[in-house]
Amino acid sequence: MLLDSGKLGCLPHRELPTPMPRTPKFGLIKPLNSLNQVDKMLATYQAILRIDEQNTQANY
């Protein structure tokens, strides 16, 4: 669909779903493990699974 300006039509930004970032959460895993904060590390993995329950890295 072309608009009057000649650009391809697309959904306005406000209508697009906002992806939940999980990559920054993976960045916390190794430091938490190094500090022996296993409870916080497991909570971070659970937070990742709330965003993406099929994430194979967090499920492993």
State the pLDDT at residue 7.
54
1-29 residues labelled b (16+ CB within 10 A) or e (exposed): eeeeeeeeeeeeeeeeeeeeebeeeeebb
pTM: 0.60
What pLDDT does residue 1 have? 46
| Distance between CA atoms of residues 48 and 26, nearest Å | 8
The Cβ of residue 44 has, within 10 Å, a number of other Cβ atoms equal to 19
**Could you read off the pLDDT of 9-56 as tens digits, one per residue?**
555 555 555 566 777 888 899 999 999 999 999 999 999 898 888 888
Which pLDDT score, from 0 to 100, does residue 17 have? Answer: 55
pLDDT (0 to 100) of residue 15: 53
